[in-house]
Amino acid sequence: MNTILQVLKSQRNRVAISLLVILCGCNFLEIDPPRTQLVSASVFETNESANAAVIGIYSRMMESQGMFSILTTTTTGLTSDELINVSTETEFQQFYENAILPSNATVQILWRNAYESIYAANAVLEGLQGSTIAPSLKQQLEGEALFIRAFCHFYLVNVFGDVPWVATTDFQQNTAVSREEVAQVYTSIVADLEDARQRLPEFSGNIMRPTKDAAAALLARTYLYTNQWALAEETASSIIANTAYQLTTVENVFLAGSSEAIWQLQPVAPGYNTYEGNAFVPVDVPTTYELNPELLEAFEGGDERAAWIGNAVDGTFNHYYPFKYKLRQGSQQVLEYYTVFRLAEMYLIRAEARANLNKGSEAIADIDVIRQRAGVSLVSDTNPGATAGEIQTAIAHERRIELFTEWGHRWFDLKRTATLDDVLASKPGWDATDENFPIPLVEIQRNRNMTQNDGY
């Protein structure tokens, strides 16, 4: 990728990736923030340094306010119907007005963050090829690198549409890279995840490193997005059947080590828990981002998930904001981890898959698991004979309420169900071509094989 090519040009045959200093026992909780180092094949000669190379990727993902720590949520929240922009920042206003310029620096950050992580994952895969580290660790690290590569491409393809699939650090190959169709990117994502699922370890209590279930969670989501209903149902069921994961109370969902979490990213920036908590929880009002009143109105009376909504009062005016993560910068303890995959989503994936497989009663049962935790009436009580259309509407509602301002779910759901135009038709600046973000201008300028999305 061109962002990656800049690194390759400056470092030639050496791979630049982030590492963490390994302390006793390689405990992730005891590892200092990363230091960027040049890495040669010697890094993969010991268990400790090879493990550090992979841990460093996760740390980089959480070290800055980028695609994997805040920007996916905020940018897609603004472009959809979740957030309104109350700041004076022109770049954020472009997202809210669906008038994003290809020169928007935030768009470039989204693109760069993803391809930097993909590049690092490819470097690990290549470095491990001739490694003599412990076979079990080598297999695990290969699985993690494959998972990271699939994970990053998943977000790229959902944000930008057709994107390059990058599977090497080779300079000559990457200079000729071009965009691949969404369907082909998904095919490659599935292949990587299936391979990763075979290599990754079973869940053993550490949710800060991807496991077989983390790979399965992304597979289930990918199958859902590609309308492979039977596979989506089967894969989500495999996670739901694992009693190691349990739905917890609304207040505890986003805490470190939550029983609902399948994979969480550990904060590494000093003084921070999550960047989402820092971005959304206000010090003063008005805030930078506020919840769209239409989302607030979608909540049912008595829904306990209202605890995920904060309210800052300015005189007589209420400023409502996402409050899933409650700790701002300056916290003395790390109590909240950034939750990437959680059990509630698996129930909703299975419900939608079952609805499309004409398993209406089973789909309703999955919906009701989520609604029961939220303290609202069950579909099985209020509408046990719901039609297929009513069930789909109920699922869309639960996804909107349960997953709001998390990892772009709402934006991606509207895209994949072809309902963007219906939902956002009245939004200022909306046009059907806004479903994809623009390819960053700098990438178009650097690579003659790179094309721009329609409408930009």
Tens digits of per-residue pLDDT, 332-380?
Answer: 789 999 999 999 999 999 999 999 999 999 999 999 999 999 999 999 9
Q: What is the pLDDT of residue 20?
A: 32
CA 230 to chain CA centroid, nearest Å: 23
Residue 142 lies in a domain: yes
Is 348 in contact with 391 (CB distance < 8 Å)? no
Q: How far apart are CA 109 and CA 65, in angstroms?
A: 9
Please provide the DSSP assignment of 124-153 as one string: HHHHHTT--S-HHHHHHHHHHHHHHHHHHH
Whether 169 and 288 map to the same domain: the answer is no
Whether 33 and 149 map to the same domain: the answer is yes
pLDDT in tens, 440-452: 999 999 899 999 9
Residue ending a domain, among 168, 200, 232, is 200
Whether 195 and 274 map to the same domain: the answer is no
| CATH, residue 56 | 1.25.40.390
Whether 161 and 57 map to the same domain: the answer is yes
Whether 36 and 115 map to the same domain: the answer is yes
Residue 296 lies in a domain: yes
User: 230 in helix, strand or coil?
Assistant: helix
What average pLDDT does this structure show over 37-48? 74
Whether 166 and 304 map to the same domain: the answer is no
Q: What is the pLDDT of residue 321?
A: 96
Residue 345 lies in a domain: no
Residue ending a domain, among 337, 358, 375, is 337
pLDDT in tens, 146-185: 999 999 999 999 999 999 999 999 877 877 799 999 999 9
Whether 30 and 153 map to the same domain: the answer is yes
Q: What is the pLDDT of residue 171?
A: 78
Residue 405 lies in a domain: no
Q: Tokens 């008038």 label which residue?
A: 99
Verdict on whether the full-model pTM lies above 0.75: yes
pLDDT in tens, 277-307: 999 999 888 778 999 999 999 999 999 999 9
Whether the pLDDT of residue 25 is over 80: the answer is no
Please provide the DSSP assignment of 341-391 as one string: EEHHHHHHHHHHHHHHTT-HHHHHHHHHHHHHHHT---HHHH-TT--HHHH
Q: What is the pLDDT of residue 10?
A: 36
Residue 418 lies in a domain: no
Residue ending a domain, among 200, 221, 242, is 200
What average pLDDT does this structure show over 254-261? 97
Q: What is the pLDDT of residue 40?
A: 57
Whether 188 and 281 map to the same domain: the answer is no
Structural domain boundaries, residue 35: 1-200
Q: Tokens 């199958």 label which residue?
A: 223
Q: How far is CA 151 from CA 8, 113, 196, 235, 239, in A?
A: 22, 12, 11, 17, 18
Whether the pLDDT of residue 19 is over 90: the answer is no
Whether 193 and 303 map to the same domain: the answer is no
Q: What is the pLDDT of residue 89?
A: 87
Whether the pLDDT of residue 8 is over 90: the answer is no
Whether the pLDDT of residue 133 is over 50: the answer is yes
Residue 156 lies in a domain: yes
Whether the pLDDT of residue 266 is over 50: the answer is yes
Whether 292 and 189 map to the same domain: the answer is no
Residue 260 lies in a domain: no
Whether 52 and 168 map to the same domain: the answer is yes
Residue 104 lies in a domain: yes
Whether the pLDDT of residue 29 is over 70: the answer is no
What average pLDDT does this structure show over 104-125? 95
Domains of the chain: total: 2
Whether 194 and 300 map to the same domain: the answer is no
Q: What is the pLDDT of residue 64?
A: 77
* pLDDT confidence band for 28 (50 / 70 / 90): very low
Q: What is the pLDDT of residue 87?
A: 86
Q: Tokens 């979608």 label which residue?
A: 298
